[in-house]
Amino acid sequence: MPDPRPARVIDPDVDLHDRANRRELRPRQWDLLAAIAAGGVLGAEARYGLAIALPHTGGQFPWSTVLTNVSGCLLIGVLMVVLLELAAPHRLLRPFLGVGVLGGYTTYSTFAVDVQRLLLAHRPLLALGYLAATGFGCALAVWLATALTGAAGRVLTARSAGARR
């Protein structure tokens, strides 16, 4: 006879033999989910504001989406260096800012819809240019932000260490 208790859903990518991955079995951390949700609202509102400020039709180049995604990637690069290398932040700061605010701000679903709209408007070269500009721009933004923020952090750390001597 089958077990009448409901089965517990566990992420199939989690290796439960690895002690670090067993956190999957812990109860939900409601403060973490609340921080992500609150940040997501703020990020989505910022994205909406930018889309209203720079509107476009289906056949026009979607500047607001490019600007949103490239600036979001730039900010993610800065944020990750600051939080992971230069500071000792509160445990909710990275989920709030990185997953919530910047995850809600960047919009790859709108990016995909914009490409589709350009294709439906018979603008394949513009769609291809948009694909390339977004992919290249976002990768470049993360790389530059990470490199420049890391360099600035090392300079500031060296200066503060020299000032303490």
Is residue 156 situated within a structural domain?
yes
SS3 (DSSP) at 27: coil
- pLDDT at 8 exceeding the cut of 60: no
| Residues in CB range of 97: below 8 A, 6 or more apart | 39, 79, 83
Is residue 21 situated within a structural domain?
no
pTM for the whole thing?
Answer: 0.78
Is residue 158 situated within a structural domain?
yes
Higher-pLDDT residue of 21 and 7 is: 21
Query: Residue 44 burial by CB count (10 A; 0-12/13-18/19+): exposed, middle or buried?
Result: middle
Q: Is the dihedral of CA 50, 54, 57, 60 positive or negative?
A: negative
Rounded to an integer, the average pLDDT of 121-128 is 96
- pLDDT at 149 exceeding the cut of 80: yes
The domain in which residue 134 lies consists of: 29-164
Per-residue model confidence as pLDDT tens digits over 42-99: 999 999 999 999 999 889 999 999 999 999 999 999 999 999 888 888 889 999 999 9
Task: Write out the two tokens for 26.
Answer: 């812990």
Supply the pLDDT for residue 162: 75
Is residue 130 situated within a structural domain?
yes
Supply the pLDDT for residue 159: 84
Is residue 42 situated within a structural domain?
yes
When divided into structural domains, the chain yields a total of 1
Is residue 19 situated within a structural domain?
no
Is residue 44 situated within a structural domain?
yes
Is residue 2 situated within a structural domain?
no
> 24 with 11: CB under 8 angstroms?
yes
**Cα(135)–Cα(3) distance, integer angstroms:** 49
Q: Report percent pLDDT > 90 for the chain.
A: 66
Candidates 20, 42, 26; CA nearest to 98 is 42
